[in-house]
Structure 1
């Protein structure tokens, strides 16, 4: 029976406020009161890091909750009659962000204030009001037709067992809704006291019209409260952990007012100021803030799971409890200041704030073109040396790579000859941060053609022959060539049209002026591409024509198999297709002729083919 005893209060009434707590009742005997008000009721959950109460105690009927994992017990008292609906949610972070965690609940009631509502009889199936055992992180609890003064018991469980925060708020606030009574929270001594970093704490039980005070402390050996001699004032200076009780005498009251409170002294976590900033390399999009964790924690005892570091973007975020969700992958674009504090998960005590400087390391721009065009000779040697790179200063190291091999560790790279791999990569490293950046360039090798070939394409004897210039370049070179016919304008077109018979000259050069210029002479010999020896007076004979630039000396005819057929007189009328008085069949025939170039007095051979048609 609880009678008129004022309940021990850990929490404050929330009216348009958000309150964060650091401990809660894991057993019904430690049950804590709450009121919903018009705001949110936020508190750390019970989890495997901070509680040794893994499952709900035996005795109560938990209804639909088959496994009440890491329980938290609360009760509320009805202020105004009506229906009440509560949203219960659980998440990783205090502000509702992060991973959603499975939460379950049971509600029992109604009870009177004088009832022992933690008894097995009270927490029975007959007194079930609402229950949920779903795998959701958000639940709705309802109390229908609640009456003024009634008390209801809530059990909220953390099935995930992971650290997080529970948010409980009343969602129906219309004029017909019921409401909770916040006076149950306002005990004389207030909630349990978590004293951080102080040697003493003053308990104040000052009550109007009181005529006397008696203070007691729980003697764990006796299992009962014993009076503290000489303490008869409204205030008590406390210097040690313990459970304290006060009796307050008021003449108008038939019984003394009693209140109890637990006081816990904790060392305030200490946080070390990082000696150096976190260097953020330009090429990285994120940085791991936790790399300073060991240094930040270094002033505290090495107790696994007791301390947690929270990281914040701004000082306002610190004040509002909005911590960085994923400190292992924080996005950085410039120099920044990050704020960190250490939290003792057992006590809720926090350290001072430490600043972590983020030093964004941007590299000087290295002037390295995407490509370089270099003229090489027939042996792959550069006409002029190529120098790549520039000096960024003594704080940088350099490494040049080609074909996967380290070729230099100087800032500048001198190149003199062609490489099988045209790609060169420079890796710059800032020595004291280890930040790296790489640049690559491709060498385009240019050269004069290896050879030039002139192909004379078919035409007729009316000065409309075509000439194609075929150039061969070194494999891997990206040269482009220009062509000039008989000293005319250079063009990138390698085919010339309407070339007359006679001696001509082709000039070939690399478009950028690389290497030597090729000059090739050629002769266009006039001959019939076909003839029709049918006696109709048109194309009856096959002929090779003379020209002032050259003189044909000898003409020999062959069949397609290379068998010699006939030698013609260059000064004669031509060939009528007859051999030994017999007309040869329609087919392709080959000829070879010898001619002399009048300009050079040199002799040349020319071969091609023609067709006999019927």
Structure 2
């Protein structure tokens, strides 16, 4: 093998990319050049996923290596004489992170430019320079006393067999260290060429001062190069696959420069354009771009040999910035996604195709969060409620009351209170299945069902406070407002400083639902206490009739409910005695019957007062 053979365009610090199922330099015939200096060479290792070359080829003497798993072959050329020390590491990730993976190596040399580096006689025990079979992910390799222009061959082996990256760099450099020659990276003919959809290429070996050129092509039938007759210029027009070699004679005619290059012609993968766009139900939805893969491939069988790459913009294609997760793409706007197919074996790309994303404009119905409905005691609505709108034949409708489907029409009419007040509408676009849903909740209100009036207190029979309690119909959440006599309606249900006499309370639902409920009550004036001590002031307790009410009778009780006596509302009143004996200071209760001018029916009123001594 000769200088420049199968060059793939290595640059110092460049991460290598493998093509197809062949890893870099898995056989010595595919050996690659590298240089070191202050740079680091990082490349994907050979492993079970990218190559069928499990064990290094037979022939070379591998020294200390008992197992020779998944090799990668490189060579370097010495520029400055001296000692060289190399750090070899193998890790899960290219940046050195992740799991540490066992790596082994062997080095042969020194050789000159005309040696066949891969012959068994060259890679022999006598030419072994350094070797390690340790169970380590970090190795140190040494080449001592190297001379300028010498060639050294490296075999780096992935003992772990796992996918990862190998790093190779020169370390511990000082004024006595040797260095590597980076001109080997370019050679005369340049890199190996993988040509996509090209029918020919021109190899240019022109060197200033050269006196002649000879061109050769590798013939597999004889396993050697044969000269191409009639080709003696510095350029060679190549139209088919092959391994080509040039021999350049210098001006003296006695110093040959030799280089080899590998040429492959491949067709671009074919790509189709999907007939229809991908419908995105709503802005911000996640969409699977890969659903169009079979349409993009057309008749091409989708195998592991192809990869489909997705891009948001043309600039992203130029920058090779692919969409990281095309199956979980978040669509914000209707847009064009650019797509290409890559042949993993050849590295060739198809032309650019396009996938159109179309965000559907689904119906935007305005549903209030809550709808207030006026119902009667039977749960019937005061007015019919109609919900929905017809958006056309492209949509299907599903109405639900809670979890129960109640209609598939575009609208529903409601007349009756339901146990579940929540209603939901799901609108489905018939072609795509995209859905949009709306919901509302009914709040049932009604007129007041009943009123309860509580007279809270009095001040020497003059002013009272009244609290009005209202009950709505069962299951309703009504709010009410209140009015005393001919006053204004208020949300407060307590009225203060009410004078004795007949009054009317009006109650209505705050939104105007149903009828106004009214009730009449009478404030009976009486003294809260009396002092039967014979001083002529407050010696008797009684309640007398008024223009607003007529007292029929008054019955007195002690605090335990024991009847004491009945007094005549037209008489003098009670003097605080029972059966001729004075009763003790305490609270006493009364209950009376009365009528009002507006009603002939008998009404009752009760309260308590204090006897003080």
TM-score, normalised by the number of residues in structure 2: 0.82
Report the counterpart of residue 137 of structure 2 in structure 1: 133
Report the 3-state secondary structure (helix = DSSP H, G, I; strand = E; otherwise coil) of the residue aligned with 1:548: coil
Report the 3-state secondary structure (helix = DSSP H, G, I; strand = E; otherwise coil) of the residue aligned with 1:543: coil
- Asked if the contact 1:399/1:428 (under 8 Å) is kept, the reply is yes
What CA distance in whole angstroms lies between the structure 2 residues aligned with 1:142 and 1:126? 7
- Asked if the contact 2:530/2:541 (under 8 Å) is kept, the reply is yes
Describe the superposition over 1:484-540 as per-residue Cα deviations: whole angstroms up to 9, x where unpaired. 111111111000001111100111111111110011100011234455656677765
Report the counterpart of residue 410 of structure 1 in structure 2: 409
Report the 3-state secondary structure (helix = DSSP H, G, I; strand = E; otherwise coil) of the residue aligned with 1:325: coil
Greater alpha carbon shift after TM alignment, 205-214 vs 122-131: 122-131
What CA distance in whole angstroms lies between the structure 2 residues aligned with 1:31 and 1:120? 17
Distance apart, 1:30 and its partner CA: 2.8
Report the counterpart of residue 325 of structure 2 in structure 1: 326
Report the counterpart of residue 277 of structure 1 in structure 2: 277
Judged with a 3 Å threshold, the aligned counterparts in structure 2 of structure 1 residues 125 and 40 are, in CA distance, closer, same or farther, namely: closer
Distance apart, 1:550 and its partner CA: 0.4
- Asked if the contact 1:107/1:131 (under 8 Å) is kept, the reply is no
Report the counterpart of residue 315 of structure 1 in structure 2: 314
What CA distance in whole angstroms lies between the structure 1 residues aligned with 2:349 and 2:159? 24
Report the counterpart of residue 8 of structure 1 in structure 2: 5
Describe how 1:46-195 pairs up with structure 2 within 5 A: 46-54=46-54, 60=62, 70-79=70-79, 111-114=109-112, 119=123, 121=125, 126=130, 133=137, 149=149, 153=154, 155=156, 157=158, 161-162=162-163, 180-195=180-195
- Asked if the contact 1:130/1:142 (under 8 Å) is kept, the reply is no
**Pair 1:296-2:318 in alignment:** no
What CA distance in whole angstroms lies between the structure 2 residues aligned with 1:600 and 1:369? 48
**Pair 1:24-2:24 in alignment:** yes
- Asked if the contact 1:449/1:510 (under 8 Å) is kept, the reply is yes
Give unpaired runs (5+ residues) of structure 2: none
What CA distance in whole angstroms lies between the structure 2 residues aligned with 1:167 and 1:335? 44
Report the counterpart of residue 220 of structure 2 in structure 1: 219
- Asked if the contact 1:85/1:171 (under 8 Å) is kept, the reply is yes
Distance apart, 1:54 and its partner CA: 4.5
Distance apart, 1:179 and its partner CA: 6.3
- Asked if the contact 1:89/1:168 (under 8 Å) is kept, the reply is no
Judged with a 3 Å threshold, the aligned counterparts in structure 2 of structure 1 residues 437 and 81 are, in CA distance, closer, same or farther, namely: farther
Describe the superposition over 1:15-73 as per-residue Cα deviations: whole angstroms up to 9, x where unpaired. 8988866351124453211346998977665444431235667964789xx99875533
Aligned residues: 598
Report the 3-state secondary structure (helix = DSSP H, G, I; strand = E; otherwise coil) of the residue aligned with 2:477: coil
Report the counterpart of residue 484 of structure 1 in structure 2: 483
Judged with a 3 Å threshold, the aligned counterparts in structure 2 of structure 1 residues 586 and 51 are, in CA distance, closer, same or farther, namely: farther
Give unpaired runs (5+ residues) of structure 1: none
Greater alpha carbon shift after TM alignment, 13-22 vs 43-52: 13-22
Judged with a 3 Å threshold, the aligned counterparts in structure 2 of structure 1 residues 317 and 560 are, in CA distance, closer, same or farther, namely: same
Distance apart, 1:479 and its partner CA: 1.9
- Asked if the contact 1:463/1:500 (under 8 Å) is kept, the reply is yes
- Asked if the contact 1:14/1:38 (under 8 Å) is kept, the reply is no
Judged with a 3 Å threshold, the aligned counterparts in structure 2 of structure 1 residues 159 and 399 are, in CA distance, closer, same or farther, namely: farther
Distance apart, 1:369 and its partner CA: 1.8
- Asked if the contact 2:427/2:437 (under 8 Å) is kept, the reply is yes
What CA distance in whole angstroms lies between the structure 2 residues aligned with 1:148 and 1:582? 142
What CA distance in whole angstroms lies between the structure 1 residues aligned with 2:143 and 2:315? 38
Judged with a 3 Å threshold, the aligned counterparts in structure 2 of structure 1 residues 254 and 453 are, in CA distance, closer, same or farther, namely: same
Judged with a 3 Å threshold, the aligned counterparts in structure 2 of structure 1 residues 486 and 150 are, in CA distance, closer, same or farther, namely: farther
- Asked if the contact 2:64/2:133 (under 8 Å) is kept, the reply is no
Report the counterpart of residue 351 of structure 1 in structure 2: 350
Judged with a 3 Å threshold, the aligned counterparts in structure 2 of structure 1 residues 45 and 429 are, in CA distance, closer, same or farther, namely: farther
Describe the superposition over 1:89-126 as per-residue Cα deviations: whole angstroms up to 9, x where unpaired. 98889xx89x9786776676695343859847489684
TM-score, normalised by the number of residues in structure 1: 0.82
What CA distance in whole angstroms lies between the structure 2 residues aligned with 1:355 and 1:255? 55
Distance apart, 1:471 and its partner CA: 0.6
- Asked if the contact 1:398/1:429 (under 8 Å) is kept, the reply is yes
Distance apart, 1:194 and its partner CA: 2.6
- Asked if the contact 1:508/1:519 (under 8 Å) is kept, the reply is yes
- Asked if the contact 1:61/1:123 (under 8 Å) is kept, the reply is no
- Asked if the contact 1:13/1:182 (under 8 Å) is kept, the reply is no
Distance apart, 1:255 and its partner CA: 6.1
Describe the superposition over 1:237-261 as per-residue Cα deviations: whole angstroms up to 9, x where unpaired. 6666554445455573546544333
What CA distance in whole angstroms lies between the structure 2 residues aligned with 1:50 and 1:197? 25
Describe how 1:454-465 pairs up with structure 2 within 5 A: 454-465=453-464
- Asked if the contact 1:102/1:159 (under 8 Å) is kept, the reply is no
- Asked if the contact 2:283/2:359 (under 8 Å) is kept, the reply is no
Report the counterpart of residue 377 of structure 2 in structure 1: 378
Judged with a 3 Å threshold, the aligned counterparts in structure 2 of structure 1 residues 142 and 470 are, in CA distance, closer, same or farther, namely: farther
**Pair 1:571-2:574 in alignment:** no
Distance apart, 1:406 and its partner CA: 1.7
- Asked if the contact 1:78/1:181 (under 8 Å) is kept, the reply is yes
What CA distance in whole angstroms lies between the structure 2 residues aligned with 1:370 and 1:296? 45
CA RMSD of aligned residues (A): 4.4
Report the counterpart of residue 399 of structure 1 in structure 2: 398
What CA distance in whole angstroms lies between the structure 2 residues aligned with 1:166 and 1:315? 33
What CA distance in whole angstroms lies between the structure 1 residues aligned with 2:57 and 2:415? 84
What CA distance in whole angstroms lies between the structure 2 residues aligned with 1:532 and 1:16? 113
Distance apart, 1:293 and its partner CA: 2.2
What CA distance in whole angstroms lies between the structure 2 residues aligned with 1:131 and 1:145? 28
